Amino acid sequence: MQINIGDKYVLTADQYQYVIQEKKTIKEGKNAGGEYLSLVGYFPKLSQAISGLIHLDIRLSDVQSLQAMQQHIERVAMQCESAFKERENV
């Protein structure tokens, strides 16, 4: 299983856990401009993976108010929901 969440994250799973990875761009060398996945974390439950993703994205954002934080959380949640709906339709 591999589900792209927005343009920034990928959710994968194996028989033991869910894995969140962040898409990053190679900046130097012969593969400059290419993309690679950087590990964010391992989670035993899907709900924990989504919660971890939201927490990470909030910490990396520049939100300055509770209202902005709520909007940011809703945006990430909608990206997750859209990604899962796309996966169902495949």
What type of residue is 80? C
Q: How confident is the model at residue 31 (pLDDT cuts 50, 70, 90)?
A: confident
As for how many domains the chain has, the answer is: 1
Domain that residue 21 falls in:
2-89
Helix (H) or strand (E) holding 66: helix 66-89
Q: How confident is the model at residue 90 (pLDDT cuts 50, 70, 90)?
A: low
The answer to whether the pTM exceeds 0.85 is no
Looking at residue 32, what DSSP letter applies? Answer: T
Residue 45 pLDDT > 90: yes
Compute the distance between CA of residue 56 and CA of residue 43 in angstroms, rounded to an integer.
13
Average pLDDT score over residue span 70-82: 87
